[in-house]
Amino acid sequence: MNTFSQLGKLTALPALALATITAATSVNADNWRYAHEEYEGDVQDVYAYKFKEYIEEHSDHTLQVYRFGELGESDDIMEQTQAGILNFVNQSPGFTGALIPEAQIFFIPYLMPTDMDTVISFFRHSDAINQDFPKLYAEKGLELLKMYPEGEMVMTLDEPVTSPEQLNNKKIRVMTNPLLSATYSSFGATPTPLPWGEVYGALQTNMIQGQENPIFWIESGGLYEVSPNLVFTGHGWFTTAMMANQDFYQGLSDQDQQLVRDAADYAFEEIIAHIDGLAERSLEKITNNSDEVTVTRLTEGQIAAFRQRAPQVEEKFIEMTGDRGQALLTQFKQDLQEIPSN
């Protein structure tokens, strides 16, 4: 063998070794796809990027995040996840009602506490959230990884309102689930279900006269520009849910399943820190940006007029979901009574 071919053999060895290592790494390293319903810097986006950060720091996998509109509306990204095109999706129960009717429980008004620490403790400890809901999502081919709160719901309207009577004849946009429509009917309004992409335009053209959302979203989506009267009714929290396609999840190694669970827990803790004070900061930005905005915080007496309509919505929930809904509601209420302090 001449020197040239000897040299060739020597250099070929590390190249082969490198190729083998690269192949082994790429066999184990996947690029996972994750879509959510919000914009850059919003709560779901922060969650997604914290999840990504954990996955990428603790494995060779990478995560590609798709924001609102990149792959369609909320229903589109759910369909893509069920079809296995996406691996992970963040879809809020506000849009999951048709698929999982029990997920509408979050829209029974005045069921959730208003105080943030209590709400967070509920999400951490509730059996309904952490044991019952994963079973309901699993029936639809979804591995529920986390449910988390984004912020207290606030109405925005074309004029300040303090009573259900003042909501008469107002078309209020709701997310597309029938129970939320029942809530707004009980409040005296005319509910108008719309996907998110149509809300700003509908407010601007007065096709609708109001909507509800957490303050950070009212600020980031510029809703206050076209619906400037904010009314704090204390009737609920915006909740969301993050999940994986179940076939994909079950096909992962034990180690990767644990990685995904740990990443979901890590992102949850980060989101709890992120939403602390977020509503106050967002409200300050809104009032700094607009002279038109009014802020009405209903008194306990005014809230009572809305609250007394809640039982009819609860009945509607049972009508829609039967014994399973009843059992979930019982568990939910029990969990709420047993909330430990954080």
Look at phi and psi of residue 129 and say left if phi exceeds 0, alpha if psi is from -120 to 50, else beta: alpha
Contact between 175 and ligand 6CS by CB under 6 A: the answer reads yes
Closest contact distance (angstroms) between CB of 118 and ligand 6CS is 20
Give Rg (Cα) of the chain.
Answer: 24
Closest contact distance (angstroms) between CB of 92 and ligand 6CS is 6
Contact between 237 and ligand 6CS by CB under 6 A: the answer reads no
Region of 109-117, 134-142, 210-218, 280-288 interacting with ligand 6CS (CB under 6 A):
210-218
Contact between 226 and ligand 6CS by CB under 6 A: the answer reads no
- Among 150, 219, 314, 335, which residue interacts with ligand 6CS (rule: CB under 6 A)? 150
Region of 133-141, 211-219, 275-283, 297-305 interacting with ligand 6CS (CB under 6 A):
211-219
Closest contact distance (angstroms) between CB of 116 and ligand 6CS is 16
Closest contact distance (angstroms) between CB of 214 and ligand 6CS is 5
In this structure, what DSSP letter does residue 295 have? E
- Among 32, 51, 196, 224, which residue interacts with ligand 6CS (rule: CB under 6 A)? 196
Helix (H), strand (E) at residue 182: helix 178-186
* Closer CB to ligand 6CS, 232 or 249, in the complex: 232
At a CB cut-off of 8 Å and minimum separation 6, what does 334 contact? 127
Question: In this structure, are residues 49 and 86 in contact, taking their beta carbons and an 8 Å threshold?
Answer: no
* Closer CB to ligand 6CS, 240 or 246, in the complex: 240
* Closer CB to ligand 6CS, 192 or 213, in the complex: 213
Q: How far apart are CA 212 and CA 170, in angstroms?
A: 13
Site string for ligand 6CS, 25-64 (x = CB under 6 A): ------------xx--------------------------
Question: In this structure, are residues 342 and 216 in contact, taking their beta carbons and an 8 Å threshold?
Answer: no
Contact between 214 and ligand 6CS by CB under 6 A: the answer reads yes
Burial of 288 (0-12, 13-18, 19+ CB in 10 A): exposed
Region of 99-107, 123-131, 209-217, 242-250 interacting with ligand 6CS (CB under 6 A):
209-217
Tell me the three state secondary structure of residue 111: coil
The angle subtended at Cα 265 by Cα 151 and Cα 179, nearest 5°, is 40
Question: In this structure, are residues 217 and 151 in contact, taking their beta carbons and an 8 Å threshold?
Answer: yes
Structure tokens at 43: 């709560």
**β pairing state of 210-214 and 31-35:** unpaired
- Among 96, 213, 245, 246, which residue interacts with ligand 6CS (rule: CB under 6 A)? 213
Closest contact distance (angstroms) between CB of 311 and ligand 6CS is 26
- In 17-98, DSSP assigns E strands to 31-35, 62-66, 88-91
How far lies 100's CA from each of 11, 53, 92, 237, 299, in Å? 60, 30, 11, 19, 35
Contact between 143 and ligand 6CS by CB under 6 A: the answer reads no
Q: Which residues bind ligand 6CS (CB under 6 A)?
A: 37-38, 74, 92, 150, 175, 196, 213-214, 217, 238
